[in-house]
Every structure is written in structure tokens, then in C-alpha cells.
Amino acid sequence: MDEEYDAIVLGTGLKECILSGMLSVSGKKVLHIDRNKYYGGESASITPLEDLFSRFAVDLPEGKYGRGRDWNVDLIPKFLMANGLLVKLLIHTGVTRYLEFKSVEGSYVYKGGKISKVPVDQKEALASDLMGLFEKRRFRNFLIYVQDFVADDPKTWKDFDPSTKDMQALYEKFGLEKSTQDFTGHALALYRDDSYLIEPAIKTINRIKLYSDSLARYGKSPYLYPMYGLGELPQGFARLSAIYGGTYMLDKPINEIVYDASGKVVGVRSGEEVAKCKQVYCDPTYVPNKVQITGKVIRCICLLDHPIPNTKDALSTQIIIPQMQVDRKSDIYVSLISSTHQVSAKGWFIAMVSTTVETANPEAEIKPGLDLLGPIAQKFLSITDYYEPTDDGLQSQVFISQSYDATTHFETTCLDVLDIFKRGTGEDFDFSKIKQELGDEEQ
């Protein structure tokens, strides 16, 4: 360990593992350390099932849940957009050779106490029970506009400049009702609140295009999930980093991050050993004095012995409950995966309900999500602080990731990773730097 490195990465959460892989691929000498014995940090997969029960101090009834080692329960499950940033990073960095993905069967949105499939094309718009007859036609015209839109071709803008006009104006141009705007912004464009309405419409158009492009790749929904759970992702990136000369150490206590007189990082100390470095990348738990709590996230892992009602018995699905439907400021997210993704014993399902905490009674806040699940065999509830770094890291050269938010998809995670990479290296990640033999792996 007593060597000099370009970068030391602390923690093997997904964000840190992606950064480690990107830095290694960019030619940096990387040392990657975790104080835990296992990969994943906050975003670990727990297996066998006995470990999940003991983690939450719950007694495991013998024989009820099948073989414990058939379970891989993700503490923070998130789906990947088939055409999204993370999949592009995975394919471009060659991590796909270590992973197998399966599409998620359903994508639903909650309105007026019931759930409906998210309509994404003209045919589905006309068949959807989310809107009345005239609204369906207006929404269909809106979708045609989005599908035909080309940023470089002003003829497709139809006298509406989306780079200068906001999204609210585009909704009004098509006469869309508030409830239609609601599911479009939250279930198609995947915004977490309504602040996007006053931002340029081009951002939302591109997000809806991402959803429909992702859907076009696999058909049933735009989402993918790795076989055996998300715990496979950090390990895939760890292997990638090793190929490029990165060094990994698990179960290594971190006693101190060492700074010079000007406050710039010069190394990391573990016991008597000090590894010198120019930069440190880490999750918030390694630098409590450099982060602040900006909120809380509640998550409830639920074990079910049945699919979620009203989802056509989908073995995997996502449901978004837009904030407006339940008088909140932020959405509630529900995800479901099962033995088809090799994360549970046969006949069992793992649901997750999550949201950003807004009141003093967080458990009541996720009730609309829990109520959709039907009978629940076992619940595991956690409320975690949401940390953000107090500065951009440029002076100290310590770059800190944000905590994982309540969303059930990875887009926000990737934006944080790419932002940290740009701050740390001073440049956008160049996908062409990847060795060609690793980079040609299409799904």
C-alpha cells in the first residue's frame, strides 16, 4: 500500500466503482479501498436471506422463504434505462461481459387510486384509461410532436423553440390537462418534482425520447435489471479496473485522510501504512466533516408471495406515484423483482417502496405505495440521511458523491458520477479512450 497513486477511491458503492473504472480506463493509477468485507457499501446486495433478517434484527421463520442462498436482496434497488447513461457506460467500458441483464416487464403510473400502464406511443395513448377521449387525441398529437422532433431541424419544432420556451408552454400549446402533464413529467420524463415546468422544454423532450428509445430496445418496458441483483455491478467495475491496472483492497480500515498545509489531499492512512495520492474519490461516510444532511429517504423492502395486483401478474415492474396524486412535494416509487432475475426463491417477490421524507411520520408517507402491494409477508423499513458534499472538492482534491436518492432508476446516479469525473479530471469522460476489444459489446 505504501506507494503513490493518481487517485485513491474509498468505498465500493456503485458510484465509486464506476468512477474507479472510468479513472482506470483513462490511464490513471488507482487504489480502491473499502472498510467493509463486502462490495457495494450502501448499495450492496444482501445474500443469503438470513443476513437480511439479522441486519434488520428480525427473526427468520424456518423454511418459509425457501433456500436462503437463492436470495440476493438489494438494499437500494434501481432499474437501468435500456438506452440510458449507465447502460452506455457499461457497454462502452466492456463491463457487460461480466453481467447478464433481463428486461423489466411493466411500467405503471398511479392516478386516482389505481395504476395504469404508462402510454408511450400513439396506439397506447388512444387505448389508455388515464385520459378521456378528447384528451387522448391531444396527448397523441403531443407524442407525435416529440417523436418527430429533431434538435437540428427547426422545421420539426412547429413554431415552438424548445430551447427558449419552457415545458409549461409546450403543454399549453397542445392543451394538455394537469393530470396528463403529471404522468408525462413524472412517469415518462422521470422528474422527481415539478420544477422542470419552468425549464427549457428541450430537456423534457429528450427525456421522453430516452424513455421511448429504451422501450423500443426490449419491448415490455424501458427498464433492465441485472441477473442476481445490483451487487453484480460493482464487482463488474472492480474487474474492469483490475484489467487496467487498478488495485483493490476490501476489509481495510481507513484511519485518516492526510492533507498538506494548504488543505490539499496527499494520502490516505490505514494503520501504520500511508498511500500517497493526488486525489481522493469517496462516498459521504468516509468524510463526515465535508458533507451536510440535506434530507432523508425512506425505503421499505417487502417480501411478497404474489405479484403486485393489477399489473397483469408481471414478475417485475415499476410504479411511479406522482406527487400531485397524493398531495406531496416528491414522488413515491415502487419496484418489484422476483426469481426471474435470480434475486429470490421461486414463488417469492421483492418489492421496494421509497420516497423523500417530508413529514415527521415517514411511514405514513409511503402508505399509498404499500397499499398497492396486497398482502406483505415481511417488511424491512429504513430511513437514511441524504448527504451532499459541502464544496466542489477542487481545492482539497477530495471528490465526494451524493447519497442515493429515492428514485427507482439510475439516471440521477450517472449524472452525479459524470459530474464528479469532470470536476476531478477537468474534462468530460471520453468514451473513445476504452480499449477496442472491450468496447464492442452490444447487448
Residue 2 pLDDT greater than 60, yes or no: yes
Whether residues 281 and 394 fall in one domain: yes
- CATH code: domain of residue 25: 3.50.50.60
* 318 domain residue, yes or no: yes
- CATH code: domain of residue 356: 3.30.519.10
Q: What percent of the chain has pLDDT over 70?
A: 97
Whether residues 272 and 394 fall in one domain: yes
From 218, 247, 277, the end of a domain falls on: 218
Closest by CA to 125, choosing from 149, 142, 147, is 142
Instruction: Please give the pLDDT value at position 409.
Output: 83
Among 44-48, 184-188, 234-238, the minimum mean pLDDT is found in 234-238
* 430 domain residue, yes or no: no
Q: Which CA distances in Å does 25 have to 241, 331, 413, 430?
A: 7, 36, 20, 10
From 186, 218, 250, the end of a domain falls on: 218
Whether residues 271 and 167 fall in one domain: no
State which amino acid sits at residue 339: S
* 340 domain residue, yes or no: yes
Identify the burial level of 394 via C-beta atoms within 10 angstroms of its C-beta, where 0-12 means exposed, 13-18 middle and 19 or more buried: exposed
Whether residues 153 and 278 fall in one domain: no
From 154, 187, 218, the end of a domain falls on: 218
Tell me the C-alpha distance between 25 and 246, whole Å. 9
Give mean pLDDT, residues 8-33: 92
Give mean pLDDT, residues 411-430: 90
- Number of independent structural domains in the chain: 3
CB 174 within 8 Å of CB 142? yes
Whether residues 133 and 214 fall in one domain: yes
Closest by CA to 357, choosing from 416, 303, 293, 302, is 293
Give mean pLDDT, residues 200-210: 95
Closest by CA to 28, choosing from 7, 53, 48, is 7
Peptide bond into 307 cis (omega under 30): no
Whether residues 363 and 392 fall in one domain: no
Whether residues 133 and 210 fall in one domain: yes
* 304 domain residue, yes or no: yes
Residue 22 pLDDT greater than 90, yes or no: no
The pLDDT confidence band at residue 436, using thresholds 50, 70 and 90, is very low
Return the exposure string of 331-344: e unless at least 16 CB atoms fall within 10 Å of the residue's CB, then b. bbbbbbbbbbbbbb
- CATH code: domain of residue 132: 1.10.405.10
* 224 domain residue, yes or no: no
* 111 domain residue, yes or no: no
Write out pLDDT tens, residues 84-118: 878 877 876 778 777 888 999 999 999 999 999 99
Whether residues 247 and 364 fall in one domain: no
Whether residues 180 and 121 fall in one domain: yes
* pTM (two decimals): 0.90
Instruction: Please give the pLDDT value at position 238.
Output: 79
Whether residues 407 and 287 fall in one domain: yes
* 401 domain residue, yes or no: yes
Instruction: Please give the pLDDT value at position 204.
Output: 96
**Structural domain for 101, as ranges:** 48-105+292-386
Write out pLDDT tens, residues 131-159: 999 999 999 999 999 999 999 999 999 99
Whether residues 123 and 145 fall in one domain: yes
* 440 domain residue, yes or no: no
H helix runs in 63-132, sequence order: 85-93, 122-127
Whether residues 146 and 130 fall in one domain: yes
